[in-house]
Chains A and B, each alone.
Chain A
């Protein structure tokens, strides 16, 4: 049996997923590109309008800032969780794993609404602080960027933890033990020996969280009080409120290109292939 046969079975295996991608993703995306360049007039009018609007610029800056801070927050918190689960095996490990995955079973909408219950002016957090006398008047915990960040870090956390944990579980503890045996302090052993091995996991977690955060819609819309207008909400606004499909599509093309640029720049500094595909 020759190579040809192998090739055929390869394509047979790939075909269903590929077809779905082409029909339900690639084609619609091309349609969006077409609208961006043809409505209401053919040309780059929409992009000129986009570049001239200071609201769009602000929204883009805001989107990238929120995504970046969310990513940092998720990495920091996620690393600690992933480290503990992978390195301190005990009877609670399965429970901890379950707790990481559990939020996936609850819709983002519900989780965002829960934060409203917690962070509101007369929410649980403010009420508790007031009852214990720590504050006099309620803190503004939501309807601003702070509230959006809290909820987004919460929603994105599993996306940071899981790749880092997979990576850490594959690291043999022999290296750290050897370093300690050779006289390295606990910190040196961690920082110089353990941490560098976890970089691929950290990077794939970071990329996953960052890219997902860029397109986030529900959480900022609910917790931002209308003033944390991320680009995806701005797109909805253009299309639903003004039936302005041209500008809305141009904005999504802009977001797509910006995201691609981020990946391109990232690839100059980290090996994307090893970060995303080979979690060792």
Chain B
């Protein structure tokens, strides 16, 4: 299909915006907004010159945007005087790529995922992390890539409602599949992400073996078969808020949900009617990536990442959002009542595995199809 969008007209409006921006009559934020509204960030020529008087950090919006603003941006500005702007418009790999390829980079730092970080690195879209400024030892092992570095952690965890289960709570994934001793409905994600791992562990396979088993066709088939076996007891969650609702309305007593949602549920549910176990959890890291030719310059952004590594800030982040500190040194500073909800406390780290993006790159599409089939057919 041919694209009939009038790029000429759009480029013209964009040029006007660029002029304004250069004249200082349009703030950078306004400029980004204008470009976004036109939907033509990629259509832009390389006319925006780098002026490192602020850092634009992009994440996925919502409460996370406000928290990032409060915890990281304001503290950095207070320390260095460099203003930090948080943009919540969602830095998908596609958008970052379009921006870099068009030569009109307006983002300095993006909250991405490991999968995107790997692809963007291969395509040469992102910059290497300068590990002389960013401290490699201050992130969880396995989350420091050449062109991306760990930012926070969220986990797929075993959540339960002890009240509904009469105090008899599943301790591991094998228990979750035991409907005789633990009756009632369970919830799993409407995608294989973080789910096949639990079905594999339910077969008695050790956590560290999970991905090597799943790397075989038999391993995937066995995990899918586990879901076929359990499906009469499964309600599927699509969005994080779905999973939260299912627990709140007591539709399910057991589930494999995100630790960040669990963090909200622990405050919303009655005392003694909600708990999580990180036993057999799957940790997924958020990854910082820096687009090539970012306007604030490499050094400034690296300094900001280093700032974000400070354990006390990461603890605050955990308190407000529930995402776990990527810096293991933060664990001792976590208030006692929060420690067991922290995905990266030493006790919880010991029982979890790290989400394997390479496996997903290879097998996800085929596995998803089989998963849907197992649930409905």
Known: A53-B369, A55-B376, A242-B368. A227 touches B251 (CB 8 A): no
Smallest CB–CB gap between A59 and chain B, Å?
7
A58 at the binding interface (Cβ < 8 Å): yes
B234 at the binding interface (Cβ < 8 Å): yes
B363 at the binding interface (Cβ < 8 Å): no
Interchain CB contact under 8 A, A227 and B231:
yes
- In the complex, which residues of chain A have a beta carbon less than 8 angstroms from the beta carbon of B238? 221, 226
Q: Please give me the residue from chain B that is nearest to A58 by CB atom.
A: B377
How many A-B pairs fall under 8 Å by CB? 58
Q: How many residues of B contact A (CB 8 A)?
A: 21
B23 at the binding interface (Cβ < 8 Å): no
Known: A122-B249, A122-B250. A242 touches B377 (CB 8 A): no
Other-chain residue from B1, B191, B234 in contact with A241 (beta carbon distance below 8 A):
B191
Other-chain residue from B1, B237, B373, B375 in contact with A53 (beta carbon distance below 8 A):
B373
Q: How does the 8 Å CB contact mask read for A46-89 relative to B, with 1 for contact and 0 for none?
A: 00000001110111001000000000000000000000000000
B185 at the binding interface (Cβ < 8 Å): yes
Interchain CB contact under 8 A, B377 and A225:
no
Smallest CB–CB gap between B150 and chain A, Å?
25
Other-chain residue from A34, A54, A58, A237 in contact with B1 (beta carbon distance below 8 A):
A34
For residues 220 through 238 of chain A, which have their beta carbon under 8 Å from a beta carbon of chain B? 221, 225-229, 234, 237
Q: Please give me the residue from chain B that is nearest to A62 by CB atom.
A: B376
A31 and B376 alpha carbons, distance in the complex (Å): 30
- In the complex, which residues of chain A have a beta carbon less than 8 angstroms from the beta carbon of B225? none
Known: A55-B369, A121-B249, A241-B368. A227 touches B191 (CB 8 A): no
A143 and B251 alpha carbons, distance in the complex (Å): 9
A246 at the binding interface (Cβ < 8 Å): no
Q: Please give me the residue from chain A that is nearest to B372 by CB atom.
A: A55
Q: Please give me the residue from chain A that is nearest to B364 by CB atom.
A: A242
Smallest CB–CB gap between A180 and chain B, Å?
52
A59 and B373 alpha carbons, distance in the complex (Å): 9
Q: How does the 8 Å CB contact mask read for B40-71 relative to A, with 1 for contact and 0 for none?
A: 00000000000000000000000000000000
Interchain CB contact under 8 A, B372 and A225:
no
A225 and B191 alpha carbons, distance in the complex (Å): 14
Other-chain residue from A121, A221, A237, A241 in contact with B251 (beta carbon distance below 8 A):
A121
Known: A225-B236, A227-B234, A242-B365. A58 touches B376 (CB 8 A): yes
A120 at the binding interface (Cβ < 8 Å): yes
Q: How many residues of A contact B (CB 8 A)?
A: 26
Smallest CB–CB gap between B241 and chain A, Å?
13
A35 at the binding interface (Cβ < 8 Å): yes
- In the complex, which residues of chain A have a beta carbon less than 8 angstroms from the beta carbon of B231? 227
Smallest CB–CB gap between A85 and chain B, Å?
37
A35 and B372 alpha carbons, distance in the complex (Å): 24
B222 at the binding interface (Cβ < 8 Å): no
Known: A143-B185, A241-B191. A120 touches B369 (CB 8 A): no
A225 and B236 alpha carbons, distance in the complex (Å): 6
B307 at the binding interface (Cβ < 8 Å): no
B118 at the binding interface (Cβ < 8 Å): no
- In the complex, which residues of chain A have a beta carbon less than 8 angstroms from the beta carbon of B376? 55, 58-59, 62, 227-229
Interchain CB contact under 8 A, B249 and A120:
yes
A53 and B374 alpha carbons, distance in the complex (Å): 12
- In the complex, which residues of chain B have a beta carbon less than 8 angstroms from the beta carbon of A35? 1
Q: Please give me the residue from chain A that is nearest to B375 by CB atom.
A: A227
Name the residue in B1, B372, B373 with the highest tally of chain A Cβ atoms < 10 Å from its Cβ: B372
Q: Please give me the residue from chain B that is nearest to A61 by CB atom.
A: B377
- In the complex, which residues of chain B have a beta carbon less than 8 angstroms from the beta carbon of A234? 372
Interchain CB contact under 8 A, B373 and A55:
yes
- In the complex, which residues of chain B have a beta carbon less than 8 angstroms from the beta carbon of A116? 249
Known: A34-B1, A122-B250, A143-B251. A226 touches B235 (CB 8 A): yes
Interchain CB contact under 8 A, B377 and A55:
yes
Smallest CB–CB gap between A46 and chain B, Å?
13
Interchain CB contact under 8 A, B1 and A226:
no
- In the complex, which residues of chain A have a beta carbon less than 8 angstroms from the beta carbon of B375? 226-227, 229
Q: Please give me the residue from chain B that is nearest to A123 by CB atom.
A: B249
Other-chain residue from B1, B235, B250 in contact with A143 (beta carbon distance below 8 A):
B235
Q: Please give me the residue from chain A that is nearest to B231 by CB atom.
A: A227
Q: Please give me the residue from chain A that is nearest to B374 by CB atom.
A: A55
- In the complex, which residues of chain B have a beta carbon less than 8 angstroms from the beta carbon of A54? 373, 377
B22 at the binding interface (Cβ < 8 Å): no
- In the complex, which residues of chain B have a beta carbon less than 8 angstroms from the beta carbon of A55? 369, 372-373, 376-377
Q: How does the 8 Å CB contact mask read for A245-260 relative to B, with 1 for contact and 0 for none?
A: 0000000000000000
Interchain CB contact under 8 A, B373 and A121:
no
For residues 218 through 270 of chain B, which have their beta carbon under 8 Å from a beta carbon of chain A? 231, 234-238, 249-251
- In the complex, which residues of chain B have a beta carbon less than 8 angstroms from the beta carbon of A59? 376
A53-B373, A120-B251, A227-B376 known; 7 new pairs, CB 8 Å cut-off, are A57-B377, A116-B249, A143-B185, A226-B237, A229-B372, A229-B375, A229-B376
Question: 21 pairs across A/B with beta carbons < 8 Å?
Answer: A35-B1, A54-B373, A55-B373, A58-B376, A120-B249, A121-B249, A143-B235, A225-B234, A225-B236, A226-B190, A226-B234, A226-B238, A226-B375, A227-B234, A227-B375, A228-B376, A229-B375, A234-B372, A237-B190, A241-B368, A242-B368
Residues of B at under 8 Å CB distance from A? Answer: 1, 185, 190-191, 231, 234-238, 249-251, 365, 368-369, 372-373, 375-377
Residues of A at under 8 Å CB distance from B? Answer: 31, 34-35, 38, 53-55, 57-59, 62, 116, 120-122, 143, 221, 225-229, 234, 237, 241-242
Closest 9 CB pairs of A and B: A226-B236, A55-B373, A225-B235, A58-B377, A55-B372, A143-B235, A229-B376, A121-B251, A122-B250
